Amino acid sequence: METRRTLMRSLAVAVVIAYVIWTTTAQEIKVKESCCTQVSTAKVTDPILNITLQRKSLPCVRAVIFKTERGDSCSDPKQKWVQEKVKQFLRDQKTKP
């Protein structure tokens, strides 16, 4: 009887540990998928809806994320055209009523 009780307690602890590991891992994967892990040098020509600056935090890289109607584009912040697009976007935001 005592053996069965010990076995049930051990099983309950194992389930709790497995649950904690599973939820922690699921959150980490979600974060990794929502960041830029590489950048493109291709120019963004679609109208920009929003801009996000992403800091480097491995596996995520430093990037400017342009949000457009077609989706998000991860761009290299060192590129001159990216810097100009950001400046233009900020100017346009200031002039909007």
pLDDT digit string (tens) for 27-61?
333 334 579 999 998 999 999 999 999 999 999 99
CA distance 15 to 65: 40
**Do 67 and 50 form a contact (C-beta atoms < 8 A)?**
yes
DSSP secondary-structure letter at 69?
T
**Do 53 and 17 form a contact (C-beta atoms < 8 A)?**
no
User: For residue 62, what pLDDT is reported?
Assistant: 96
- Give, rounded to a whole angstrom, the gap between the first and last alpha carbons of the chain: 76
Nearest to 85 by CA among 35, 36, 44: 44
3 CB-contact burial (10 Å; exposed 0-12 / middle 13-18 / buried 19+): exposed
pLDDT digit string (tens) for 80-96?
999 999 999 999 988 87
- Counting runs of H as helices and runs of E as strands, what totals does the chain give? 2, 3
